[in-house]
Structure 1
Amino acid sequence: MSRGVDYAKLSVLVADDFSSFRHTVSGMLSSLGVKKIELASNAREAIQCCEHKFFDLILCDYNLGDGRTGQHVLEELRHRGLINRQTLFLIVSAESSRTIVLCAYDCEPDDFLMKPINARMLQQRIERLVRQRDALAPAMRALDAKEHAVAAQVLEQVAGRQTRHAVAAHKMLGTVLLSQGDLDRAEALYTRALEVRQLDWARLGLAQVRQARGDLDLAGEWLQKIVEENPMFLPAYDSLAENWNKRGDKLQEQTAVQKAVEISPLSILRQKYLAIVAQENADLVTAVVAQRRVVKLGRLSCYGAAEDHFHFARLVADAIEQELDLGSDIGTEAINVLKSAKEAYPLEDGAACSMHLLEGRLHALAGRKPAAQESLTEAEALMYEGSEDIVLEVDRVHALFALGDNPRAEALLNDLRVIFADDQRALERLDVFLSEPASASNSALVADINREGINLYNHRQFDEALACFDRARTLFPRHVGIHLNIVQSLVGKLKEMERDQETLDECARALRRAGRLINTEHPQYTRFSRLKAMAHSAMGH
């Protein structure tokens, strides 16, 4: 026993792809008196060891050689519940790049050791961490048992002793109080900590208290100040994104997530978040890039899923339909990503159906009609009558429209509007196909965007109006009124400003897009005809 640590009772796992390092560390541990030591040479072996045994301490190299890293190991162990709060996980690495170090810290190991390490360094870290763990063990056991009041009481006692474990106890106590909505006690704790020193964790906690109380503007100001003064403090970006979300500012929310992703690009969950919020903001280019990273990261992560591949394919198809320039091979890339889902994950009928529908849509958009029809037939063979899976049905409508089978697509849409008449979330998904939204939320959103865009147009702020309408077009690509507002804004710009080729080309594209949605029977056909004539005149035709 050394300085209160009974090494003979510790069970330790050492994971490293170099046998020399494994055996060197094993020797160091043995010299300290550790009796129970197991070795793993890669991520798979490390996880297998934890499936069959509890470890007090895991020393895991960041780069394990087989593709998966120490970060992946820690994520999976936590995700599957193979370790609890009392297992100490240390990442060891020779990597010193900022990206690797920050990504390692982002998964919140108990400590991070830079190679080379020696016996004295190892002993000091182990003893500090084990003593802290033992001091907080009763609280950890209470939290595992969901006895939050007991945990808070224990943590208050540890914090009040003013030992070296007091700061850790304070931090944990603040998190417990926040999670339980005990805002008065949480605020008092963070305020006392800040009276001693301006600690980022206490500043963040106080901002989270204000946010929980609904004081979103003040919380946002505090969070913004934290990230300005400490640009590497990732938890503050996450809270700032949540703050903007609660305030209804999706663009600022995306900015906060993007900054966090730039700092820690290997976080698959944050990349998923970025893809979703960028899609909500009609920023399909950012969404595609983020989702591409999700697919790549998911190959090694426990958080990877077949749906990640499907989401990438949907985003790419949307981008192609929006005529966004993502490279000539983007459609082929998306089809290959779909194929890789089948290789990486077991697909039940619903997932296989999604894959075939998305393949059909992508083939159709590339002009490969026979291949598209074959994929659609395979998908429909897996679907059953009366299916009420709105995601699958929306994929089927997209595939039918891409194939040019508009009568079937329109008939299916009419059926779905009846089936999901009382389901606002389902109606929101159908709105993308409709000339006017069926859901109350999207009807209000379109009205707000149109109001803003028209006001900008009336003030001759044509570029700003176009940005506003273009965002709406991406969200509701078949909304005729929005397409016509874009044409009108481009005509206004061409009339009042010097004509440039980019604006001329965009006006021609806008006319083509609107023309594909309108026939002579459409109620807005007269307006379309008038705008078409005005556009041709403004373009010098």
Structure 2
Amino acid sequence: MTIANYDNMRFLIVDNIKPSQEILKQFVMRLTTKHVDSTHYAQDVAAICQQKLYDVILLGYDLGENQKNGQQILEELRVNGYINRHCIVILITAEVSQAMVLAALEHKPDHYLCKPYSLSDLDKRLRHCLHKKKAMAQIYQALDDNNPTLVIQRCKQALSVNSPYKAECLGIMSRQYFELQEFKEAKAIYIAYQNQGNCQWATIGLGKVALQENKLKHAEKLFKLLIKNNPLYLSSYDWLAITYEEQFHYILAEEILEQALSLSPRSLTRLKKYAQLCTHNEHFDKATTAYESNYKLAHNSIHHCADNTVKYVQALIEHAPSLPLVDARKVNNKALTFLRKMTRDFKASDIKIHSHFLGACLFDISKEDVLANNELVLGEELLIKEQSNISAERLAAISLTLKKLKKYNLASQLLITCEQYTAIQESQSVVSIKDKAQAEIELALSLYSENKYSEAIIKLQDASTKFPKHIAIKLNLIQVLLVSFESNKTLVSNFQRAKILLLEMTHVRLNNNELERLKKMQKKYQQIAGI
């Protein structure tokens, strides 16, 4: 491996233990001429990374009680695009439990380092990461630019010069083919590398192709085999659950995600999906536990939202009636605390209204009628005041809780309001689409009047893609295609395109004016073709 050169590279150190942070800082300062930034505040990392583009981040995992951990910070940085694929992230942790390691790996740090470690260990990992980033730089740039065709081209170039990262290049290239729906090319790679070491992605890919081809039993077989041979390769559980759902085997989907969560209980996406399946299967005890775990794990992450509390309380409302009254009151008190925190963290009026109605449900279950009625009255008063400011989606969610409270009339009124909102939005959307389409047509016709046929065709083709059901755009496009060929007989493709569109239009229901115009276009086509 070549000697690493960190000169001019920007480093960020995130560690809440001062002595540890200073040791890292002194080590890094010997590597680069750039100023080395550091912080021990987890909450500051996202803001810091928005201000500067870092080449290396040495990220502590445990950053203090009630603070974001390194995994949550890494997810926030990646999801929001605050770091790109060129940035090296090394996760440094004193915790080496399977749950922590698997959860961290799902967010793909470039490496991780377990405490206690030596600076020599850190140096080795940095060298390894830098070597890989440099070798894969062009591919990563194309990925950041969201250019799948260029990604494939650069992967092929890397493979042609025997890249030491062959497996990753093939994995990236096959994913691009899959996303481009070029399944034949993707499948060829998957089959060739299915049984190679560290190529579990190939079996996942074959399973995904089988799903696309509706070969559900074959997909199921592939994912099961992968789980058997690689029980810690967690995405195989997710894909098997999806396969079960496609076959309406919701119980099996729930059970397979339960297995995955027993191995890695900190995956929020998987946990939320599992909770949804438990609710669908009416396993409300499991749903309540899962949503509570989701609520707690999400608290300091980008997944923190009011819906986490609402889903937990809704599951509990279904589960609590099966509990002894003493136990029901105990869990209800915890849920009420969560609701109070929700209205403190999120100020929207619909959240406060929903909180009152959910609280009323909880008090109703625990036989505290006066408190239930108080919450109900407060919710109704606020709803009357704020209803016009609440979205249809939120009103629909509130109506479901009102039905639990047997407030059927009020729930129905909200649903009627939702339908009215939707109708108005659809009407406005139609008007907006018509306006936009007309603007596109006018611009194209302006180019047409100046004999700029090629530019007019491009405009009308773009407009047709945006508004595929817009008749006037298609008729205008046919006209310009015919006139362009008439003026330049070498543009045979334009004439052929006009023919295809004319044939398509014969199967479309048209009004009298549109039909009359189509007939004129057909006649013009026949004249030019000499028919």
Shorter-normalised TM range = 0.7 to 0.9
Name the structure 2 match of 1:336. 337
Q: 1:131 to 1:347 in 2, by over 3 A?
A: same
8 Å CA contact 2:98, 2:264 repeated in 1: no
Number of residues paired by the alignment?
Answer: 417
8 Å CA contact 2:361, 2:372 repeated in 1: yes
Q: Check if 1:95 corresponds to 2:95.
A: yes
Q: What percentage of aligned pairs have identical amino acids?
A: 21
Aligned 1:288-367 pairs, distance under 5 A: 288-321=288-321, 327-343=328-344, 345-367=345-367
8 Å CA contact 1:294, 1:304 repeated in 2: no
Q: Check if 1:57 corresponds to 2:56.
A: yes
**1:153 to partner: Cα distance:** 0.9
User: Please, which runs of 5 or more residues in structure 2 have no aligned partner?
Assistant: 423-531
Supply the AA of the counterpart residue of 1:227: I
**1:286 to partner: Cα distance:** 0.6
Residue deviations 1:448-473 (CA, integer Å, cap 9, x gap): xxxxxxxxxxxxxxxxxxxxxxxxxx
Partner secondary structure for residue 146 of structure 2: coil
**1:303 to partner: Cα distance:** 0.6
Measure, in 1, the Cα distance between the counterparts of 2:104 and 2:412. Answer: 51
Residue deviations 1:485-537 (CA, integer Å, cap 9, x gap): xxxxxxxxxxxxxxxxxxxxxxxxxxxxxxxxxxxxxxxxxxxxxxxxxxxxx
Measure, in 2, the Cα distance between the counterparts of 1:388 and 1:148. Answer: 37
Measure, in 2, the Cα distance between the counterparts of 1:263 and 1:300. Answer: 22
Out of 141-150 and 225-234, give the one that drifted further.
141-150
TM-score (ref. length: structure 1): 0.71
Name the structure 2 match of 1:411. 409
Q: 1:267 to 1:34 in 2, by over 3 A?
A: farther
Residue deviations 1:136-169 (CA, integer Å, cap 9, x gap): 2222222222211111111121123222122221
Supply the AA of the counterpart residue of 2:205: G
8 Å CA contact 2:61, 2:69 repeated in 1: yes
**1:339 to partner: Cα distance:** 0.8
8 Å CA contact 2:402, 2:410 repeated in 1: no
Q: Check if 1:144 corresponds to 2:147.
A: no
8 Å CA contact 1:76, 1:301 repeated in 2: yes
Q: 1:320 to 1:116 in 2, by over 3 A?
A: closer
Measure, in 2, the Cα distance between the counterparts of 1:257 and 1:117. Answer: 35
Supply the AA of the counterpart residue of 1:298: A
User: Please, which runs of 5 or more residues in structure 1 have no aligned partner?
Assistant: 425-541
Residue deviations 1:210-255 (CA, integer Å, cap 9, x gap): 2232222111111111112221111111111121122221111111
Q: 1:57 to 1:272 in 2, by over 3 A?
A: same
Q: Check if 1:272 corresponds to 2:272.
A: yes
Supply the AA of the counterpart residue of 2:340: K
8 Å CA contact 1:159, 1:167 repeated in 2: no
Measure, in 2, the Cα distance between the counterparts of 1:205 and 1:156. Answer: 19
**1:323 to partner: Cα distance:** 5.7
Aligned 1:362-511 pairs, distance under 5 A: 362-384=362-384, 389=392, 391-393=394-396, 395-396=398-399, 398-399=401-402, 402=405, 406=406, 409-412=407-410, 415=413
Residue deviations 1:67-106 (CA, integer Å, cap 9, x gap): 3211011011123221122212111112222222222212
Q: 1:48 to 1:86 in 2, by over 3 A?
A: same
Q: 1:64 to 1:78 in 2, by over 3 A?
A: same
Measure, in 2, the Cα distance between the counterparts of 1:414 and 1:139. Answer: 55
**1:329 to partner: Cα distance:** 1.0
Name the structure 1 match of 2:236. 236
Q: 1:332 to 1:119 in 2, by over 3 A?
A: closer
8 Å CA contact 1:200, 1:226 repeated in 2: yes
Name the structure 2 match of 1:29. 28
TM-score (ref. length: structure 2): 0.72
Measure, in 2, the Cα distance between the counterparts of 1:333 and 1:346. Answer: 18
Supply the AA of the counterpart residue of 1:292: E
**1:123 to partner: Cα distance:** 2.5
8 Å CA contact 1:15, 1:43 repeated in 2: yes
Measure, in 2, the Cα distance between the counterparts of 1:189 and 1:380. Answer: 60
**1:416 to partner: Cα distance:** 6.2
Measure, in 2, the Cα distance between the counterparts of 1:282 and 1:257. Answer: 16
Measure, in 2, the Cα distance between the counterparts of 1:302 and 1:218. Answer: 36
Name the structure 1 match of 2:475. none
8 Å CA contact 1:8, 1:36 repeated in 2: no
Q: Check if 1:16 corresponds to 2:15.
A: yes
Partner secondary structure for residue 30 of structure 2: helix
**1:288 to partner: Cα distance:** 0.1
Supply the AA of the counterpart residue of 1:8: D
Q: 1:207 to 1:247 in 2, by over 3 A?
A: same
8 Å CA contact 2:399, 2:415 repeated in 1: no
Measure, in 2, the Cα distance between the counterparts of 1:54 and 1:18. Answer: 24
**1:55 to partner: Cα distance:** 0.6
8 Å CA contact 1:275, 1:290 repeated in 2: yes
8 Å CA contact 2:193, 2:202 repeated in 1: yes
Q: 1:85 to 1:401 in 2, by over 3 A?
A: closer
Measure, in 2, the Cα distance between the counterparts of 1:388 and 1:59. Answer: 43
8 Å CA contact 1:57, 1:89 repeated in 2: yes
Measure, in 2, the Cα distance between the counterparts of 1:36 and 1:171. Answer: 36
8 Å CA contact 2:399, 2:414 repeated in 1: no
Supply the AA of the counterpart residue of 1:26: K
Name the structure 1 match of 2:262. 262
8 Å CA contact 2:396, 2:418 repeated in 1: no
Which structure's CA Rg is the greater one?
A: 2
Partner secondary structure for residue 12 of structure 2: strand
Q: 1:223 to 1:82 in 2, by over 3 A?
A: same
Name the structure 2 match of 1:174. 174
Partner secondary structure for residue 7 of structure 2: helix
Q: Check if 1:133 corresponds to 2:133.
A: yes
Measure, in 2, the Cα distance between the counterparts of 1:351 and 1:415. Answer: 19
Measure, in 2, the Cα distance between the counterparts of 1:238 and 1:26. Answer: 40
